[in-house]
Amino acid sequence: MNKRRLNVAMIGYGFMGRAHSNAFRQAGSFFDSPFELRLKTVCGRNRARLEEMASAWGWEEIATDWETVVSQPDIDIVDICTPNYLHAPIATAAAQAGKIVLCEKPLANSVEEAESMTAAARKVPTLVWFNYRRVPAVSLAKQLIARGRVGEVYHYRAVYLQSWGKDPRDPGAWRFDPVEAGSGVMGDLLSHSLDLATWLNGSVRRLCAQVHTFAEGRRVDDAVTVLVEFSNGSIGTFEASRFATGNLNRNAFEINGSLGALRFNLEEMNHLAFNDLGGDAAEQGWRRMLVTGPRHPYAEHFWPPGHVLGYEHTFICTLSDFLSALEKNERFHPDFADALEVQRLMKAVTESSTSRRWIDVSPSAVSVSQASGPI
Amino acid sequence: MNKRRLNVAMIGYGFMGRAHSNAFRQAGSFFDSPFELRLKTVCGRNRARLEEMASAWGWEEIATDWETVVSQPDIDIVDICTPNYLHAPIATAAAQAGKIVLCEKPLANSVEEAESMTAAARKVPTLVWFNYRRVPAVSLAKQLIARGRVGEVYHYRAVYLQSWGKDPRDPGAWRFDPVEAGSGVMGDLLSHSLDLATWLNGSVRRLCAQVHTFAEGRRVDDAVTVLVEFSNGSIGTFEASRFATGNLNRNAFEINGSLGALRFNLEEMNHLAFNDLGGDAAEQGWRRMLVTGPRHPYAEHFWPPGHVLGYEHTFICTLSDFLSALEKNERFHPDFADALEVQRLMKAVTESSTSRRWIDVSPSAVSVSQASGPI
Amino acid sequence: MNKRRLNVAMIGYGFMGRAHSNAFRQAGSFFDSPFELRLKTVCGRNRARLEEMASAWGWEEIATDWETVVSQPDIDIVDICTPNYLHAPIATAAAQAGKIVLCEKPLANSVEEAESMTAAARKVPTLVWFNYRRVPAVSLAKQLIARGRVGEVYHYRAVYLQSWGKDPRDPGAWRFDPVEAGSGVMGDLLSHSLDLATWLNGSVRRLCAQVHTFAEGRRVDDAVTVLVEFSNGSIGTFEASRFATGNLNRNAFEINGSLGALRFNLEEMNHLAFNDLGGDAAEQGWRRMLVTGPRHPYAEHFWPPGHVLGYEHTFICTLSDFLSALEKNERFHPDFADALEVQRLMKAVTESSTSRRWIDVSPSAVSVSQASGPI
Amino acid sequence: MNKRRLNVAMIGYGFMGRAHSNAFRQAGSFFDSPFELRLKTVCGRNRARLEEMASAWGWEEIATDWETVVSQPDIDIVDICTPNYLHAPIATAAAQAGKIVLCEKPLANSVEEAESMTAAARKVPTLVWFNYRRVPAVSLAKQLIARGRVGEVYHYRAVYLQSWGKDPRDPGAWRFDPVEAGSGVMGDLLSHSLDLATWLNGSVRRLCAQVHTFAEGRRVDDAVTVLVEFSNGSIGTFEASRFATGNLNRNAFEINGSLGALRFNLEEMNHLAFNDLGGDAAEQGWRRMLVTGPRHPYAEHFWPPGHVLGYEHTFICTLSDFLSALEKNERFHPDFADALEVQRLMKAVTESSTSRRWIDVSPSAVSVSQASGPI
């Protein structure tokens, strides 16, 4: 076919490296795209693991020096899934070399880094892998809100609860190093909740947070709880934890509005619960929708009704939407500027916990994230 | 108040004796009734247990000879909760003495007994304690069907699954004696499912059944499974078992219709699930309704929304509806004639299992149960 | 029987008046008690409604002057279910007259009132109707914690979400009057969550809260969210709201511990979910227990396994435990002193919200509530 | 790498063609395999759709004459996902040409065809795509049964309920043609349930069935219900329907045994519920396991705990297990012989429905399916 080819270089090869590789391979099978992605180079420090990655996922070449890779003329897209502290230098270099830049979340280890990256990348298309916006059930929540089915929002309640990543000796050990990771659950889990919240419910006006470390000697946060006031007048709570035993991946939210309410939980990611307050009061209840039907977001690209999707499809949908925006020359969300807003919220969380005070979140800054995306 | 007083005599004092006693005491507190029920006499064989019953529940007198009791002039209502084989003689004598007769299910140990009882009682008001019709969620199901929210029915699927009554040494041991109980799960559990099914979905045209006993040496059935064709063209399955481990009291049904579907499970008796096939296909799903709202059956008589009811309330609601019908001189459902139809279905189940054949259920007989009740 | 008779006077006759009346009538039927409760006097301002109450629930007399009633020599128990602002004067007078005093929650409209009441009642047995401790599933949670099945607690997460009591024109309108009610959801809903939390997880060390009113012109709180540090090192969040649309009575908590996790929701009050972290990791999961079995709290007093209880049974169980403690001359929990601790927490919540700061909760005060109850 | 290359030809390109293509592409990424699969030829009648398939999924060539394809020397594997009536001629020709043969279910349109195919293929490795054995949660069920966690089985209860494939004008219209499809839901849905049942619970001894068509003028079955006796003494019920409104893909089973019980539903395919009857009775309940942990089947090949899989992964796992068996020169299950047993059961279902009688299923025939597979 006469599709435009885009050569991809991926820096990093861990858990996210696999999820991204899969998306690069699969997007063109499930979605009709004007671009053909070529898995050109996978780059990292460990040559043996690079060989494995290349063999398993079809990367054509391996490389160990990212600085060379990001400036290679035949690379169109640089995808970053390294430990967090490397996001800034790699993204900046790639953007300066004019590449399309895709970056894992959280965008950076500080607001300063994130601002600098956003500035550096202001002329290239960017994507940050806040992949949960593209869970079909979450996209449906966004559509229902946009259609006015929820009405005025009173409450936004989010948790991201895990209990399996507690052992600092596991291969993702950099996640427990404050220098490499920047933070613990804050960047790893809370950032997802904050991105979804600002996307679904708008900007945050004020917050008060409590950051906690349970594991002795650990230098990053294991748990964080936050009280929030949103700009739309609703109030919220957030909690993220790696010590929420019994929960494996409970990235969940509930929204209570004047016309309807919504519930989502990533552990049951093919379902969205909706409580429509309209109609006959005798028939109201939590409606558990299996979001796999022909009228549901992304569903037509996959399987017939009732045939569920998994975690990895969120990356495929994200990438496909990005390529659509790229083709139309439109801004994609979430991009670096959107992720910078999440970074600002994380900074406010940290400041609030340290100072034991409520923190006003600058409204001017937040306004950027209000730009509406394609959905 | 100037309410008409009705003196009650209850024959039997086991599990059902407690449930009935409670209903007699409570109906007037939760429901406004023209009658005042007086718990006059509790009758049985064991004097010590009768004393306990009388003390705990406020029965004024005890008695050990039911024949005397049912003919006493100051008794208005005879309530029967003895082992099944005594239903026929007691109900017949009480009806012949002109009493109002309330009887536990199953009505009798055979169709012949049930016919004879129904004939004997044709001039007195009767009630059979198929109490699950008056679970508010089940009554709501009936209302939704009546309002046309389910449409043409395709499937009716019922189970009544327990696993705790397996020990024949327990006090309810008469339930395992074929002479005293008539049958095992068939009368104990399946009869409830059949009553609900004919109430909700109309008469049965044909059935094929498999009756099974797991416990060695037991002479009544432990499990029964049935295939059914209903007169309305829908097809059904039924299963009742005392060996359905993991289930304590799963009296459940699902109805699939052209316009909607319904699900109920007694273990979560305050909820009814409804899947409305109308409206926007993108918003369809199983709507789990907490049937405690002001627009729900019976709810106004109890507590505010969200304050759930328990098992015993089904008896209170049944009794209250019976007293309302009595006041208006209307026929109450389910009465002896309704329960006779269930008895005919149980007979067909037995015959089918014995002969390993499908059995046509006489349509003339069934037509009686089609009379519509107050709901 | 030769039971000791206790004459009860109940002041108030609203929603709680019905729930208490029911408990007074039913406790002796379901539980074997050394006391016989006599429903002597129901007292209030509206004679017509008093007549109705007396007729429906069997109160022997009505009265309109509580001051006379609480000092009558033939009254043994004074039960208070008036609007909150009357709790203090009635309880104080009753205690001074030597009566046993039962009082609806919240105990008072201020810590000062609560302290004064507790002091006045220090020589008489008291009970505060924090009835949710005696939901069988909640009592089972307490037992599991006591048996060490949860281990070291990391997180305690509670919500009490409603959406039906928003209309100030309804009969419970005093609940929206700051003078009569003291507060909005704080006293009505949050107090329940705080009582359960301190009972299940011990005292609170510090908290930070946000109190919010959505309804225009309303002078009490509609919603409150709280961050908490417990004395045992766990961290918590609380939320109570009358604007949590889609939720009718979601009084729920989740506890994450080193050995197990627990989940409860009052809307499904017969279930407790337990995630045991011991044993084979391949078999771990949320175990939804239908708390109606012979080994479960209170179950033997009611029905066979799988036959569920309702809201009102929590009052019956509370009263029965109180009468047991009374017989044994033991302190009952929760009593006035326990409820005073909840009052102190509510005060801290208010102060934190007003001052926008974290508030330390005095440890000496809290220690009282650490006394262990009969369970 | 020096992996052995296997060239694949796929005949057919519908819904199943996509699912198979995906598995061929993905197996080597998620699983370490000694084979490298090359997507060589996709074959069908419509050239335009073949071009699309080839482009989307990476097939190297297209072809329109299956007879040529199956005899090409450079083809190692022939995968059949045509309408059912073509399974027999293609599989037979491919087997006679010495190819490895993979075939969609049901294996054939009659027992005679299936026997002939099985005989023809007795010397080549075969696979039938009963993919639901490899849902990780179903594989875990099999493991728990094998470890004795369920004990003696009393009941096996299966449904496969859909409601979306009712329109005969949709592209899968051949499914409604009795000549092309052989049957309706029987081959499409019930065959899956029968395969799982015989795998999990052993052979069927006797059955009685009711086959029904709701849609006017349709010549295949829309619904089937079956009563079953298994050789192990347990009794069962089966139901499959395309008119089970409210259900999209409810392929579910429940097994009640003397030591434990299991529940599964494909609509929530990442969960398995287990009710362990051992241990403390007070702690028993349905344990909902999120089957994504390191100790769970297949989990290590995909994502961290709590990151769920989708429908398509069942094909990937099936293919990977097949390749493992191939490497070790072991028999794979389910193969043609296993699928032949399902075909015999479907024949018995048809005969029972036609004759309105119970049908004994020949034990000799069934014994073949008792061979134990790798799990």
Average pLDDT over residues D17-32: 97
CB-based burial label for D374 (10 Å; 0-12, 13-18, 19+) = exposed
Q: Residue D249's closest chain A neighbor by CA?
A: A306
| Residue with tokens 């039906």, as numbered in its chain | C164
Closest Cβ–Cβ partner in C223, C246, C277 for A235: C223
Chain centroid, CA D312 distance in Å = 13
Phi/psi of residue B194, nearest 5 degrees: -70, -40
Average pLDDT over residues C6-23: 97
Closest Cβ–Cβ partner in A144, A283, A288 for B285: A288
pLDDT at B79 over 80: yes
Q: Residue A292's closest chain B neighbor by CA?
A: B282
Decide if C282 contacts C202 (C-beta within 8 A): no
**The pair of three-digit structure tokens given for residue A70, joined into one six-digit string:** 């990001």
Compute the distance between CA of residue D150 and CA of residue D144 in angstroms, rounded to an integer.
Answer: 7
Average pLDDT over residues A96-117: 98
Sign (positive/negative) of CA torsion D54, D55, D59, D60? positive
**Band of pLDDT at residue A370, cut at 50, 70 and 90:** very low
Decide if B95 contacts B69 (C-beta within 8 A): no
Predicted local distance difference test score (pLDDT) of residue A168: 56
Predicted local distance difference test score (pLDDT) of residue D142: 98
* C-alpha distance across the termini of chain C, in Å: 29
Tell me: the pLDDT tens digits for B260-312? 999 999 999 999 999 999 989 999 999 999 999 999 999 999 999 999 999 99
In a mutagenesis test of the A interface, which of C243, C277, C287 is the best target, namely the one with the most A β-carbons within 10 Å? C243
Predicted local distance difference test score (pLDDT) of residue D171: 58
Compute the distance between CA of residue A263 and CA of residue A276 in angstroms, rounded to an integer.
Answer: 12
Tell me: the pLDDT tens digits for C44-73? 999 999 999 999 999 999 999 999 999 999
Length of chain B in terms of residues written: 375
Q: What percent of chain A has pLDDT over 90?
A: 90
Smallest Cα distance from D254 to chain C, Å: 16
Compute the distance between CA of residue B323 and CA of residue B134 in angstroms, rounded to an integer.
Answer: 14
Tell me: the pLDDT tens digits for C113-161? 999 999 999 999 999 999 999 999 999 999 999 999 999 999 999 999 9
Q: What percent of chain D has pLDDT over 70?
A: 94
Smallest Cα distance from A259 to chain B, Å: 14
Considering only CA atoms, which of C189, C140, C169 is closest in space to residue C299?
C140
pLDDT at B369 over 60: no
Compute the distance between CA of residue D260 and CA of residue D186 in angstroms, rounded to an integer.
Answer: 30
Smallest Cα distance from B189 to chain C, Å: 13
Decide if B318 contacts B162 (C-beta within 8 A): no
Predicted local distance difference test score (pLDDT) of residue B30: 97
Tell me: the pLDDT tens digits for B10-39? 999 999 999 999 999 999 999 998 899 999
pLDDT at D7 over 50: yes
Average pLDDT over residues A232-238: 98
Instruction: Report the run of H or E that residue D175 belongs to, with start and end.
Output: none
pLDDT at A300 over 90: yes
The amino acid present at A33, given as its one-letter code, is: S
User: What angle do helix axes C111-120 and C336-355 make, rounded to 10 degrees?
Assistant: 170
Is there a contact between D248 and A305 if contact means CB atoms under 8 Å apart? yes
Average pLDDT over residues A261-275: 98
Considering only CA atoms, which of A139, A47, A183 is closest in space to residue A333?
A139
Q: Which residues on chain B place their C-beta less than 8 Å from a C-beta of chain D?
A: 154-155, 157, 159, 161, 163, 208-210, 212, 214, 223, 225-227, 229, 235-237, 239, 241, 243-247, 254, 256-258, 260-261, 263, 275, 277, 286, 356-358
Tell me: the pLDDT tens digits for A185-209? 999 999 999 999 999 999 999 999 9
A325-329, D336-340, D371-375: the lowest-pLDDT one: D371-375
Is there a contact between B155 and D229 if contact means CB atoms under 8 Å apart? no
Average pLDDT over residues C322-347: 98
Q: Residue D30's closest chain A neighbor by CA?
A: A56
**Band of pLDDT at residue C169, cut at 50, 70 and 90:** low
Q: How far is CA A208 from CA A190, A191, A308, A358, C226, in A?
A: 14, 16, 38, 4, 10
| Residue with tokens 């006779």, as numbered in its chain | B340
Chain centroid, CA C103 distance in Å = 10
- Cα-Cα-Cα-Cα torsion B169, B175, B180, B183, nearest 10 degrees, comes to -130
Predicted local distance difference test score (pLDDT) of residue C368: 40
In a mutagenesis test of the D interface, which of B150, B154, B253, B286 is the best target, namely the one with the most D β-carbons within 10 Å? B154
Tell me: the pLDDT tens digits for C90-106? 999 999 999 999 999 99
Q: Which chains touch A (3 or more CB pairs under 8 A)?
A: B, C, D
Average pLDDT over residues B354-367: 77
Q: Residue C305's closest chain B neighbor by CA?
A: B248
Q: Identify the three-state secondary structure at position D61.
A: strand
Smallest Cα distance from B25 to chain D, Å: 32
pLDDT at A366 over 80: no
Considering only CA atoms, which of B83, D68, A309 is closest in space to residue B66?
B83
Compute the distance between CA of residue D363 and CA of residue D231 in angstroms, rounded to an integer.
Answer: 9
Predicted local distance difference test score (pLDDT) of residue C35: 96
| Residue with tokens 């030829």, as numbered in its chain | D41
**Band of pLDDT at residue D173, cut at 50, 70 and 90:** confident
Predicted local distance difference test score (pLDDT) of residue D374: 41
Per DSSP, the residues of D90-137 read HHHHHHHTT-EEEEPSS--SSHHHHHHHHHHTTTS-EEE--GGGGSHH
Tell me: the pLDDT tens digits for D103-162? 999 999 999 999 999 999 999 999 999 999 999 999 999 999 999 999 999 999 999 999
Is there a contact between D140 and C294 if contact means CB atoms under 8 Å apart? no
Average pLDDT over residues C20-42: 96
Is the bond into C106 cis (omega within 30 degrees of 0)?
Answer: yes
pLDDT at B375 over 50: no
pLDDT at B102 over 80: yes
Compute the distance between CA of residue D11 and CA of residue D86 in angstroms, rounded to an integer.
Answer: 10
Decide if A223 contacts A159 (C-beta within 8 A): no
Length of chain D in terms of residues written: 375
Decide if C182 contacts C84 (C-beta within 8 A): yes
Compute the distance between CA of residue C120 and CA of residue C337 in angstroms, rounded to an integer.
Answer: 11
Output the 3-class SS for chain C: CCCEEEEEEEECCCHHHHHHHHHHHHHHHHCCCCEEEEEEEEECCCHHHHHHHHHHHCCCEEECCHHHHHHCCCCCEEEECCCHHHHHHHHHHHHHCCCEEEECCCCCCCHHHHHHHHHHCCCCCEEECCHHHHCHHHHHHHHHHHCCCCCCEEEEEEEEECCCCCCCCCCCHHHHCHHHHCCCHHHHHHHHHHHHHHHHHCCEEEEEEEEECCCCCCCCCCEEEEEEEECCCCEEEEEEECCCCCCCCEEEEEEEECCEEEEEEHHHCCEEEEEECCCCHHHCCEEEEECCCCCCCCHHHCCCCCCCCCCCHHHHHHHHHHHHHHHHCCCCCCCHHHHHHHHHHHHHHHHHHHHCECEECCHHHHHHHHCCCCC
**Band of pLDDT at residue B75, cut at 50, 70 and 90:** very high
Closest Cβ–Cβ partner in B225, B245, B254 for D237: B225
Predicted local distance difference test score (pLDDT) of residue D370: 37
Query: How does DSSP classify residue D290?
Result: E
**The pair of three-digit structure tokens given for residue B66, joined into one six-digit string:** 């039911």
**The pair of three-digit structure tokens given for residue C90, joined into one six-digit string:** 């009635």
* C-alpha distance across the termini of chain B, in Å: 29
Is there a contact between B308 and C310 if contact means CB atoms under 8 Å apart? yes
Is there a contact between C282 and D296 if contact means CB atoms under 8 Å apart? yes
Is there a contact between A285 and B285 if contact means CB atoms under 8 Å apart? no
Compute the distance between CA of residue C65 and CA of residue C47 in angstroms, rounded to an integer.
Answer: 11
**Band of pLDDT at residue B362, cut at 50, 70 and 90:** confident
Predicted local distance difference test score (pLDDT) of residue A144: 98
Q: Identify the three-state secondary structure at position D78.
A: strand
Q: How far is CA A94 from CA A68, A115, A330, A334, B242, in A?
A: 10, 16, 20, 18, 68
Predicted local distance difference test score (pLDDT) of residue B289: 98
Considering only CA atoms, which of B300, B275, C354, B23 is closest in space to residue A358?
C354
Average pLDDT over residues A330-338: 98
Tell me the domains of chain D and their CATH numbers.
4-131 (3.40.50.720), 134-310+333-370 (3.30.360.10)
Compute the distance between CA of residue D271 and CA of residue D292 in angstroms, rounded to an integer.
Answer: 9
Length of chain A in terms of residues written: 375
The amino acid present at A294, given as its one-letter code, is: P
Sign (positive/negative) of CA torsion A258, A260, A261, A266? negative
Predicted local distance difference test score (pLDDT) of residue A374: 41
**The pair of three-digit structure tokens given for residue C139, joined into one six-digit string:** 């009592």
pLDDT at C243 over 60: yes
Compute the distance between CA of residue B79 and CA of residue C271 in angstroms, rounded to an integer.
Answer: 33
User: What angle do helix axes C136-146 and C191-201 make, rounded to 10 degrees?
Assistant: 30
pLDDT at B120 over 70: yes
The set of residues, in sequence order, having a beta carbon less than 8 Å from that of D242 and lying 6+ positions away, is D162, D163, D164, D165, D166, D184, D185, D189, D222, D223
The set of residues, in sequence order, having a beta carbon less than 8 Å from that of D149 and lying 6+ positions away, is C283, D259, D260, D274, D276
Decide if B14 contacts B45 (C-beta within 8 A): no
Is there a contact between C274 and D290 if contact means CB atoms under 8 Å apart? no
Decide if A245 contacts A163 (C-beta within 8 A): yes
In a mutagenesis test of the A interface, which of B147, B268, B270, B287 is the best target, namely the one with the most A β-carbons within 10 Å? B287
Length of chain C in terms of residues written: 375
Closest Cβ–Cβ partner in B19, B266, B309 for C310: B309
Mean pLDDT (chain A) is 94
Mean pLDDT (chain C) is 94
Tell me: the pLDDT tens digits for A147-183? 999 999 999 999 999 998 666 556 567 888 999 999 9
Compute the distance between CA of residue A327 and CA of residue A346 in angstroms, rounded to an integer.
Answer: 33
Closest Cβ–Cβ partner in B223, B229, B254 for D235: B223
Compute the distance between CA of residue B266 and CA of residue B131 in angstroms, rounded to an integer.
Answer: 12
Phi/psi of residue B126, nearest 5 degrees: -130, 160
